């Protein structure tokens, strides 16, 4: 009788642990999160996942037999991403206001005739610098571009004015993705319009998405992304904290708690963002590097993927040196540093999503 009781208690404990992991994976607590910041984002303080620095769900899957591999028999991958928020020195709408009467007349005439001045880029933010630095460590990346209209919040550049950059990126083996506007995460028609605009100007298929300011709403944003025809998203991470929002360091198909179904979409969960490190968490460079290396090691231990976001306007000075330190650390560990789309293609080719879903079902009671 005593042994039967112990077996019952052990089984109950195991089931309780699985239920907790399932709730973390599905981000169940976020469906009813009342506390949100000024951008409508759930803070890391209000998540049920209290182990943000450990990929607890991925560790369970790994121990259960999930053993992904990567090109060259590498043990882990880093998905490199760059959000292009800023390129122009000044707002292209207003920077050409001249002081002399002659220049004012010239400026007004060009405006009436629809003649556009060439955009003047900030030399420290040029994408060529980022491409060159990544290439130094045999890395390719995904660049997410805003497709904003002139009157929209955070407008800085017109896609038409910087379209010469797109062939440069593609020819360098990089990917172009959409950086959705502030409200796109909850506006399907706006999301589709921005995708079509970028696709038309860049003359390439747009498969990937990340929303500006990491604005995201569960499960609505995933639903909109699937309806808009995106192959993957990589918004899902906390702005105010690095780590594993739902305990995952593997690309995964999100589960809709409301419908009981998986979305036909891959999520590449965001693990580290530059702004999280230095603005929200206020790490010193030394502490930030230590934390980043620790997370990279955690991902390597379960043969996972670490999605890394570094903005193009942080590629010079101390911030640029810090970014290169991360590249060097991954390079020395023989990690695969690649774009989101190449990672997604590999994941699908190996049918890892299907294998992982079978294991995830063992958590679902």
pLDDT tens for 147-203 read: 999 989 999 999 999 999 999 999 999 999 999 999 999 999 999 999 999 999 999
pLDDT band for 15, please (50, 70, 90 cuts).
low
pLDDT of residue 116: 52
Confidence class for position 48, pLDDT limits 50, 70, 90 = confident
Domain 2-87+122-360 has CATH 3.20.20.370: yes
| Residue-level pLDDT at 362 | 86
Q: How many CA atoms lie within 13 A of 242 on its CB side?
A: 27
pLDDT at 5: 29
Question: What pLDDT shows up at residue 102?
Answer: 45
If one compares 292 and 33, the residue with the highest pLDDT of the two is 292
pLDDT score of 110 more than 60: no
Instruction: Report percent pLDDT > 90 for the chain.
Output: 77
When pLDDT is cut at 50, 70 and 90, the band that residue 363 belongs to is confident
| pLDDT for 347 beyond 80 | yes
State the pairing for strand pair 261-262/255-256: antiparallel
Q: Give the domain ranges of the chain.
A: 2-87+122-360, 95-119
Q: For residue 95, is pLDDT > 80?
A: no
pLDDT for the residue 101:
45
Indicate the range of 49-53, 102-106, 288-292 predicted with least confidence. Answer: 102-106
The mean pLDDT value for 333-349 works out to 98
User: Using one digit for the tens of pLDDT, what is the confidence trace for 264-274?
Assistant: 999 999 999 99
Across the range 23-46, mean pLDDT stands at 88
């Amino acid at each position: 009788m005593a042994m039967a009781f112990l077996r019952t208690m052990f089984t109950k404990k195991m089931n309780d642990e699985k239920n907790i992991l399932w709730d973390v994976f599905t981000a169940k607590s976020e469906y009813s999160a009342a506390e949100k910041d000024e951008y409508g984002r759930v803070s890391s303080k209000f998540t049920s996942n209290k182990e943000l620095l450990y990929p607890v769900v991925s560790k369970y899957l790994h121990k259960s037999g999930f053993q992904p591999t990567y090109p060259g028999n590498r043990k882990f991958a880093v998905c490199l991403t760059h959000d292009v928020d800023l390129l122009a020195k000044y707002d292209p709408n207003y920077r050409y206001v001249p002081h002399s009467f002659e220049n004012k007349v010239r400026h007004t005439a060009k405006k009436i005739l629809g003649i556009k001045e060439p955009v003047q880029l900030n030399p420290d933010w040029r994408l060529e610098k980022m491409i060159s630095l990544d290439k130094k460590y045999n890395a390719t990346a995904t660049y997410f571009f805003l497709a904003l209209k002139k009157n929209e919040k955070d407008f800085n550049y017109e896609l038409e004015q910087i379209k010469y950059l797109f062939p440069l990126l593609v020819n360098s083996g990089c990917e172009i993705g959409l950086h959705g506007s502030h409200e796109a995460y909850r506006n399907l028609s706006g999301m589709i319009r921005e995708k079509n605009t970028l696709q038309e100007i860049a003359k390439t298929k747009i498969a990937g998405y990340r929303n500006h300011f990491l604005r995201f709403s569960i499960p609505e944003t995933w639903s909109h992304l699937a309806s808009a025809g995106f192959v993957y998203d990589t918004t899902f991470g906390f702005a105010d904290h690095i780590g594993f929002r739902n305990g995952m360091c593997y690309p995964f198909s999100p589960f809709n708690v409301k419908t009981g179904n998986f979305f036909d979409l891959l999520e590449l969960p965001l693990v580290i963002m530059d702004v999280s490190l230095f603005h929200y968490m206020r790490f010193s460079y030394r502490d930030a590097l230590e934390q980043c290396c620790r997370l990279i090691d955690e991902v390597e231990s379960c043969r996972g993927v670490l999605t890394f976001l570094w903005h193009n306007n942080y590629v010079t000075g101390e911030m640029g040196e810090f970014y290169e330190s991360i590249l060097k650390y991954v390079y020395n560990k023989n990690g695969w540093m690649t774009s989101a789309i190449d990672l997604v293609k590999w994941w699908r080719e190996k049918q890892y999503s299907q294998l992982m879903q079978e294991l995830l079902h063992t958590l679902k009671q």
